[in-house]
């Protein structure tokens, strides 16, 4: 007798609805604000986002630099510094400086340096940039590509729909990560793979793999909405297809789309970290947490902090995004599970 | 000791939600004799289903709890029984038929399994016996070729057939009391009548008392001996069925009578809903709970909460919770009001009563209009 | 049922063909060949030409593909380009039992953890047990397995020295524990979430109230009425869970230096060893498809509303 049945819930819901007739979005915001885990997640994300933005920001004369050093500069034991490109004599071996809690810590490098003398704190901060960018940019791409195609397929049906569904079948035959690995591994060594340190290719690869899910989601929403009375009403007063799609279908299918986007962000970060860890993601010397783990793994037993620090960052950011995503889902659509 | 099967006194059930305490059932008292039939009528959210669930102690906790009251069933207080004893009562002595036959049957168990569960539990039957009894029960409620349908799943039955299964399930252990919570609301009008007839016939046959819960006065008309009208968690009017239709004494009941859907739609009037929303049960109005929607109200109604009293110009035992129809120095301003003029034509009502009462039993049993659709792949 | 199974198995063929075609196209579309990674011994053009001729890489792509499919149908997947003296089938033959053992153990462990955990969590909703399992489920699904593996190695191998940090050693218990558990965490967290959610969904259904109204004991209500319904969605995600475990082996085998298929797959990709990539991928696709088919058949058995044979 511990729980309430669906019909009782409906009765209670009805009661609440009659009590306060407020907008769906206001209610959702309220529910989200009450969710402690989601709010904690939001603050962690904001923190990382601020670090990412101000790691090194130049706007006109303004120059804010949170990161102490250039993440690709090498600091030698003899006090020499070398920056940019291939550096002759950059050696591997034990780190030149341990983090502040370790032996022979160097006050200049709070979290120490890696085995070739680069400042870990600066690298972590610049890596946050990669993660934030990889989290948010592709999601916008999926939304634009998948949303448009899904809308068209759902609204018009016919060959667009057939084509979409066949393509979906093919993409769904591959597990996401497997397809990503193959795309990244094959195209990484071309000139496309060099744009923005491999970031551009990651955008493309993630979009190829993930727009389909968004398209299917939007298509399903549109299919269920397009026979509804309000669409019929809009059509009967002469609204064109574009107006119906953008004014009626899209806004009404927004809640699940937002939830799906919220979950896509950590998945993209996850993918970048995983691929970079395997050595087929972001190209060194551009720092990313995955790259740092990959590079530090060879000296893991000697200097665990080189691996543990970026690993902790990944874990923290992933958890934060998942809590926020869960909170958003619960807030926007309490009936949706998982 | 009384001869009553059931005596409910000052029942109070509340739900403790984030927005506050919902006073779902507030100080409800009534009694029921052996074999008697009672209708509880009111809009959705008025507390009638919660009353029924409270009787079986099926209120989900949290958030709900019966905070006060006694429920005497065959002389013993259901509120004081331990969990095992309550379970021995459920299904055995008190059975329930729920509103939506589509969702109230377990989709992954065969119907014979679902009916024989109670037989095996309460009557200690073995598999073979319970199967035999299940076939009898299904035939009793008019399911054609019951033997063949025994191992079918709920989705292979139509809505009406499923509700028959629910009735068979409720009757299975020969209970003393059946609580039927909106048993026909989810069904087509024609099938509604068949289901009600089965319920009526079988309860007469087995001398089972039942409480029929509905929002539709038209449904209880030909079914029960007495009717209690609920509003905002309270009983606002109690009367014999004929008396209630003949001489209703509460403005809310008038509103309900006015809103009975009429089948002979040559009328000029449209369906007449009661204006306004049911009261917020978290913070109910301090005076009469119907006062905000009442067109006959006076100052007193918003200031003072009326009790349930014998009505003026009415049969003995006809009680109302309206100052306007109660005796008293400042009361009774509605005692002389001609409610017939208020709600329109009385013939319409007579016709509603006829609808249920006059259905020939053969037509009900044959049930040819209720053949289930062929099982379809739901993929 | 049998008819359906056969039809589904036949449908596998075009699926696998498409998978193969796409993989083949992608693998060959990329610039650079398998011979240019050996920077140390700069191979002359003539050596490269010889190598290409030897492995048939000089032929037009459609022909290569046709030849590949033809040979594959006869069980010949060619010679690995990185381990040049070994047949692809030999390498896979050595590696697959390791990955299969790891994967099957992980899935069994995941199911054994997640279903009881999800059920208890749902029954004790909003208690400490529930919050604990929810935290596990959220952390396990969101944190990548290789990140968890790093922490696990740091704690259990480097500091506590309970388990070895790498190697397989013929699959002895101490080498098995950490990879199996870490491989299982992701899917068990995912399955816990699903189990909990579908339990909560099932428990508030009207038919559960009906069951209680019959006077059934709470345990009987939960086992016969709630669980049976709640497990249906759980079974449907076992297919994706299998795929999840397979991709998980790439990272776990890489981190723990386990000579399984996952590690060979990653190495082949890095080395552009086409025959290996194609053959391993084909095997993965086959395993995933068979897992999905099994799940669909089980789904049909569990849910009478689904008619599998149609």
Task: Write the DSSP string, B57-106.
Answer: T---TTTEEEEEEEEEETTEEGGGS-HHHHHHHBTTTEEEE-S-TTTSS-
Alpha-carbon distance of C128 to B308, in angstroms, equals 47
pLDDT recorded at residue B369: 37
Task: Please answer whether residues B182 and B188 qualify as being in contact, where contact means their C-beta atoms are separated by less than 8 angstroms.
Answer: no
Specify the CATH number for the domain of residue B26.
3.40.50.300
pLDDT number for residue A20: 45
Spatial CB neighbours of B112, under 8 Å, sequence gap ≥ 6: B131, B134, B150, B151
CA–CA distances in Å: residue A82 to residues A122, A288, A291, C176? 15, 20, 20, 45
Arithmetic mean of pLDDT, A306-334: 88
CA R_g for chain B: 21
Block residue for tokens 């498809």: C289
Specify whether B163 is located in the same domain as B220: no
Query: What 3 state SS string does B277-298 have?
Result: CCCCCCCCCCCCCCHHHCCCCC
The whole-angstrom separation of Cα B69 and Cα B14 is 12
Is the ipTM of this structure higher than 0.95?
A: no
Which two tokens mark B150? Answer: 């025994």
Question: Does residue B233 sit in the same domain as residue B274?
Answer: yes
Domain housing B118: 104-172
Q: Please name the member of B90, B378, B379 whose beta carbon is closest to the beta carbon of C214.
A: B90
Q: How many domains does chain B have?
A: 2
Question: Is residue A210 in a domain?
Answer: yes
Q: Coil, helix or strand for B10?
A: strand
Query: Helix or strand or coil: residue C244?
Result: helix
In a domain, B311, yes or no: no
Per the domain annotation, does B256 fall within a domain? yes
Burial A12-48 (b: 16+ CB within 10 A, else e): beebeeeeeeeeeeebbeebbeebebbeebbebbeeb
- Of residues A45 and C170, more confidence is placed in A45
Minimum Cα–Cα distance from C289: chain A residue: A173
Whether pLDDT at B186 is above 80: no
| pLDDT score for B229 | 92
Neighbours of chain B (3+ CB pairs under 8 A): A, C
C124 touches chain B (CB under 8 A): no
Q: Which pLDDT does position B303 carry in this prediction?
A: 84
Read off the DSSP letter of residue B11. Answer: E
Per the domain annotation, does B32 fall within a domain?
Answer: yes
Single residue among B121, B153, B172 that ends a domain in this structure: B172
* Residue A98 DSSP class: B
User: Are both A132 and A82 inside the same structural domain?
Assistant: no
In-domain check, residue A178: yes
**Is B98 within a domain?**
no
* pLDDT computed for residue C232 by the predictor: 87
Do B83 and B35 share a structural domain? Answer: yes
Question: A225 or A21: whose pLDDT is higher?
Answer: A225
Sorted by where each starts, the structural domains of chain C and their CATH numbers stand as 95-261 (1.10.3720.10)
Find the CATH number of the domain harbouring A296.
Answer: 1.10.3720.10
Please give the pLDDT value at position A338. 41
Q: Which structural domain range is residue A98 located in?
A: 72-118
Based on the fold, state whether residues B195 and B57 are members of the same structural domain. yes
Q: Looking at CA atoms only, how far is residue A1 from chain B in angstroms?
A: 5
Burial classification of residue C177, based on how many CB atoms lie within 10 Å of its CB (0-12 exposed, 13-18 middle, 19 or more buried): middle
CA B65 – CA B47 distance, rounded (Å): 13
Residue B72 has pLDDT above 80, yes or no: yes
Distances, alpha carbon C124 to alpha carbons B62, C127, C231, in Å: 12, 6, 18
Mean pLDDT of the residues in chain B: 79
Q: Is residue A84 located within the same domain as residue A138?
A: no
Per-residue pLDDT tens digits for B281-335: 888 888 888 888 888 888 888 888 888 888 888 788 889 998 888 887 777 777 7
Per-residue pLDDT of chain C (310 residues; tens, 9 = 90+): 778 778 877 877 877 787 778 777 776 766 556 665 554 455 667 777 777 776 667 777 788 888 888 888 888 887 787 777 788 888 888 888 999 999 999 999 999 999 999 999 988 888 899 889 988 988 888 888 888 888 898 888 888 888 887 777 777 878 888 999 999 998 999 899 899 989 988 888 889 989 988 888 888 899 889 988 888 888 888 888 888 888 888 899 988 889 989 888 888 887 878 788 888 888 888 888 888 888 888 887 888 877 654 4
Query: pLDDT band at residue B262, thresholds of 50, 70 and 90?
Result: low
Q: Which residues of C touch A300 (CB under 8 A)?
A: 150, 153-154, 158
Residue A61 lies in a domain: no
Q: Comparing C-alpha atoms, which of C260, C257, C234 is closest to residue C246?
A: C260
Domain boundary among A118, A153, A174: A118
Residue of A nearest to B64 (CA): A4
Pair B53, B198 in one domain: yes
Q: Does residue B193 share a domain with residue B128?
A: no
Please indicate, yes or no, if residue A28 is contained in any of the structural domains. Answer: no
Same domain, A90 and A203: no
Please give the tally of structural domains in chain A. Answer: 2
Kindly state whether residues A101 and A236 are assigned to the same domain: no
Chain C residues near residue B114 by CB distance under 8 angstroms: 210
pLDDT bin (cut points 50, 70, 90) of residue A94 is low
Task: List residues bridging with A75 in a β-sheet.
Answer: A81
Quick one: pLDDT band at residue B364, thresholds 50, 70, 90? very low
End position of a domain, from candidates A85, A118, A151? A118
User: Under DSSP, is residue A108 helix (H, G, I), strand (E, B) or coil?
Assistant: coil
Mean pLDDT, residues A236-262:
80
Is B294 within the bounds of a domain?
no
Residue % of chain A over a pLDDT of 90: 14
| Domain assignment present for A311 | yes
- Residue A206 placed within a domain: yes
pLDDT classification of A304: cutoffs 50, 70, 90 = confident
Q: Are B254 and B377 in a shared domain? A: yes
- Which position has the higher pLDDT, B106 or C49? B106
Q: In this structure, is residue B304 part of a structural domain? A: no
CA nearest to A92, candidates A59, A117, A62 = A117
**Does the beta-carbon distance from A6 to B60 stay under 8 Å?**
no
Domain assignment present for A266: yes
Which pLDDT score is estimated for C29? 66
B314 located within any domain: no
CB B177 within 8 A of CB B208: yes
Check whether residue A89 and residue A188 sit in a common domain: no
Residue B377 — pLDDT band, cuts 50, 70, 90?
A: very low
The helix (run of H) or strand (run of E) holding residue B378 is: none
- Together in a domain, A88 and A177: no
**If you average pLDDT over each of A158-162, A239-243, C107-111, which comes out highest?**
C107-111
B160 and B274 both lie in a single domain:
no
Residue contact B60–A18, C-beta within 8 A: no
| CA–CA distances in Å: residue C175 to residues A72, B8, C155 | 38, 68, 15
Domain termination site, one of B118, B143, B172: B172
* Residue pair A266/A135 in contact by the 8 Å Cβ criterion: yes
pLDDT of res. A49: 92
Tell whether A239 is covered by a domain.
yes
Domain end, chosen from B147, B172, B197, is at B172
- Domain termination residue (choose one: A58, A85, A118): A118
Q: Using CA atoms, how far apart are residues C52 and C48, in angstroms rounded to an integer?
A: 6
- Verify that B71 and B201 share a domain, yes or no: yes
More confident residue, B9 or A86: B9
Residue A336 pLDDT more than 70? no
pLDDT category of residue B350 using cuts at 50, 70 and 90: low
Asked if residue A294 and residue A185 are part of one domain, the reply reads yes
Whether residue A182 sits in one domain with residue A113: no
The verdict on A107 and A132 lying in the same domain is no
- Expressed in angstroms, the distance from the first to the final Cα of chain A is 24
pLDDT of residue B173: 86
Q: Is residue B347 a part of any domain in this protein? A: yes
H helix runs in chain B, sequence order: 48-55, 83-89, 111-122, 127-140, 146-149, 159-171, 189-206, 217-220, 241-246, 251-258, 299-303, 339-343, 346-357, 361-366
Q: Are residues B179 and B168 in the same domain?
A: no
For C175-204, the pLDDT digits (tens) are 888 999 999 998 999 899 899 989 988 888
Q: Tell me which of A313-317, B42-46, C193-197 is least confident.
A: B42-46
Same domain, residue pair A198 and A327: yes
Contacts of B90 in chain A (CB under 8 A): none
Residue B136 and residue B259 share a domain: no
**pLDDT value, residue B199:** 84
3-state secondary structure of B114: helix
Residues B94 and B64 sit within 8 Å (Cβ to Cβ): no
The pLDDT-based confidence of B372 (bands split at 50, 70, 90) is: very low
Mean pLDDT across the stretch B352-372? Answer: 42
Relative to beta strand B37-41, strand B226-231 is: parallel
Q: Is the minimum CB–CB distance between C301 and chain B shorter than 8 Å?
A: no
Same domain membership, residue B160 and residue B13: no
Q: Which of A175, A253, A174, A176 is nearest to A216 (CA)?
A: A253
Is the per-residue pLDDT at A200 higher than 70?
yes
Q: Does an H or E element contain C293, and which?
A: helix C274-302
Joined tokens for residue C97: 């039992």
- Give the residue, A77 or A21, on which the prediction is more confident: A77
Q: What is the mean pLDDT of residues A152-167?
A: 82
pLDDT digits (tens, 9 = 90+) for B202-225: 888 888 888 999 888 878 887 888
Are A100 and A187 found together in one domain?
Answer: no
- Between chains, do B153 and C302 touch, taking CB under 8 Å as contact? no
Task: Give the C-alpha distances (Å, rounded to integers) separating A211 from A137, A139, A249, B207, C205.
Answer: 13, 9, 19, 65, 35
Which range, A3-7, B234-238, B270-274, is most confident? B234-238
Report which DSSP code applies to B307.
Answer: P
SS3 B221: coil
Residues of C whose CB is below 8 A from A333: none
Region B182-195: mean pLDDT is 79
Find, among A265, A49, A318, A317, the residue nearest to A137 by Cα. A265
Give C310's contacts in chain B (Cβ within 8 Å). 377, 379
Q: A193 with A110, same domain?
A: no
């Amino acid at each position: 007798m511990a729980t309430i049945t669906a019909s009782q819930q409906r009765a209670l819901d009805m009661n609440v609805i009659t009590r306060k007739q407020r907008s769906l979005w206001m209610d959702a915001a309220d529910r989200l604000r009450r969710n402690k885990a989601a709010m904690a997640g939001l603050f962690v994300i904001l923190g990382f986002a601020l670090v990412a933005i101000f790691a090194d920001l130049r706007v006109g004369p303004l120059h804010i630099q949170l990161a102490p050093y250039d993440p690709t500069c090498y600091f030698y034991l003899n006090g020499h510094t070398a920056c940019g490109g291939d550096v002759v004599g950059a050696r591997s071996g034990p780190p030149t400086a341990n983090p502040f809690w370790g032996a022979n810590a160097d006050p200049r490098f709070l979290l120490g340096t890696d085995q070739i003398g680069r400042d870990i704190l600066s690298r972590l901060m610049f890596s946050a940039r990669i993660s934030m960018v990889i989290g948010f940019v592709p999601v916008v791409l999926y939304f634009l590509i998948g949303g448009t195609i899904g809308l068209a397929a759902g609204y018009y049906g016919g060959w667009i729909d057939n084509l979409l569904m066949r393509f979906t079948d093919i993409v769904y035959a591959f597990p996401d990560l497997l397809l990503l690995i193959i795309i990244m591994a094959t195209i990484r060594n071309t000139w496309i793979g060099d744009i923005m340190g491999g970031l551009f290719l990651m955008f493309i690869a993630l979009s190829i793999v993930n727009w389909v899910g968004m398209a299917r989601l939007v298509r399903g929403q549109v299919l269920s909405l397009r026979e509804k009375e309000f669409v019929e009403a809009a059509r009967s007063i002469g609204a064109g297809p574009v107006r119906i799609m953008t004014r009626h279908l899209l806004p009404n299918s927004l809640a699940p789309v937002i939830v799906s986007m919220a979950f896509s962000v950590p998945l993209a970060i996850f993918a970048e970290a995983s691929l970079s860890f395997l050595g087929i993601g972001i190209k060194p010397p551009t720092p990313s947490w995955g790259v740092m783990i990959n590079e530090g793994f060879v000296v893991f037993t000697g200097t665990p902090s080189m691996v543990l620090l970026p690993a902790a960052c990944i874990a923290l950011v992933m958890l934060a995004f998942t809590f926020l995503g869960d909170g958003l889902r619960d807030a926007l659509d309490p009936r949706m599970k998982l | 000791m009384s001869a009553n099967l059931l005596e409910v006194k000052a029942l109070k059930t509340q739900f403790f939600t984030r927005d506050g305490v919902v006073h779902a059932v507030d100080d409800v008292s009534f009694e029921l004799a052996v074999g008697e039939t009672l209708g509880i009528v009111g809009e959705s959210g008025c507390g009638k289903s919660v009353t029924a669930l409270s009787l079986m102690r099926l209120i989900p906790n949290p958030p709900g709890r019966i905070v006060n009251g006694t429920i005497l069933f065959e002389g013993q207080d259901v509120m004081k029984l331990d969990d095992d004893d309550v379970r021995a009562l459920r299904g055995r002595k008190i059975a329930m038929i729920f509103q939506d036959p589509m969702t109230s049957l377990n989709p992954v168990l065969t119907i014979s399994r679902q009916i024989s569960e109670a037989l095996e539990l309460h009557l200690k039957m073995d598999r073979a016996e319970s199967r035999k009894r299940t076939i009898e029960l299904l035939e009793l409620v008019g399911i054609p070729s019951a033997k063949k349908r025994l191992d079918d799943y709920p989705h292979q039955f139509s809505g009406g057939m499923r509700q028959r299964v629910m009735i068979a399930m409720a009757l299975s252990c020969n209970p003393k009391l059946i609580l039927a919570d909106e048993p026909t609301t989810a069904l087509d009008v024609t099938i509604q009548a068949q289901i009600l007839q089965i319920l009526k016939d079988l309860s007469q046959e087995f001398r089972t008392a039942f409480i029929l819960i509905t929002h539709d006065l038209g449904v209880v008309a030909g079914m029960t001996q007495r009717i209690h009208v609920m509003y905002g968690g309270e009983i606002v009017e109690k009367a014999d069925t004929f008396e209630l239709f003949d001489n209703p004494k509460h403005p809310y009941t008038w509103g309900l009578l006015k809103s009975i859907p009429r089948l002979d739609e040559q009328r000029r009037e449209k369906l007449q809903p009661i204006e306004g929303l049911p009261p917020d049960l978290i913070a109910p109005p301090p005076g009469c709970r119907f006062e905000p929607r009442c067109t006959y109200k006076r100052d007193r109604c918003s200031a003072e909460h009326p009790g349930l009293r014998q009505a003026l110009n009415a049969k003995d035992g006809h009680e109302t919770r309206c100052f306007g129809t109660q005796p008293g120095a400042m009361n009774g301003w509605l005692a002389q009001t001609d409610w017939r003029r208020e709600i329109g034509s009385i013939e319409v009502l007579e016709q509603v009563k006829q609808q249920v009462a006059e259905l020939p039993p053969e037509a009900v049993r044959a049930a040819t209009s209720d053949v289930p659709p062929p099982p379809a792949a739901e993929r | 049922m049998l008819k359906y199974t056969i039809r589904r198995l036949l449908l596998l063929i075009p699926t696998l063909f498409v998978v193969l075609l796409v993989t083949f196209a992608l693998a060959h579309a990329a610039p650079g060949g398998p011979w240019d990674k050996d920077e140390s011994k700069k191979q002359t053009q003539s050596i490269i030409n010889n190598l290409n001729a030897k492995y048939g890489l000089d032929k037009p792509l459609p022909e290569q593909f046709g030849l590949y499919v033809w040979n594959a149908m006869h069980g010949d997947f060619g010679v690995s380009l990185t381990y040049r003296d070994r047949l692809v089938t030999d390498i896979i033959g050595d590696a697959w039992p390791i990955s299969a053992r790891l994967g099957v153990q992980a899935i069994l462990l995941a199911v054994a953890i997640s279903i009881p955990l999800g059920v208890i969590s749902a029954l004790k909703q909003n208690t400490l047990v529930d919050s604990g399992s929810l935290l596990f489920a959220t952390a396990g699904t969101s944190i990548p397995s290789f990140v968890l593996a790093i922490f696990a190695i740091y704690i259990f191998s480097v500091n506590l020295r309970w388990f070895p940090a790498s190697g397989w050693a013929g699959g002895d218990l101490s080498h098995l524990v950490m990879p199996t558990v870490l491989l299982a965490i992701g899917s068990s967290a995912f399955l816990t979430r699903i189990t909990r959610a579908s339990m909560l969904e099932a428990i508030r259904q009207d038919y559960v109230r009906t069951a209680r109204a019959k006077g059934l004991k709470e345990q009987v209500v939960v086992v016969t009425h709630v669980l049976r319904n709640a497990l249906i969605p759980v079974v449907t995600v076992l297919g994706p869970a299998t795929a999840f475990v397979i991709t998980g082996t790439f990272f776990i085998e890489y981190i723990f230096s386990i000579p399984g298929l996952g590690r060979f797959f990653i190495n082949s990709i890095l080395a552009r060893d086409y025959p290996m990539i194609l053959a391993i991928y084909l095997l993965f696709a086959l395993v995933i498809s068979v897992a999905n088919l099994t799940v669909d058949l089980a789904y049909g058995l569990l849910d009478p509303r689904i008619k599998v044979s149609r």
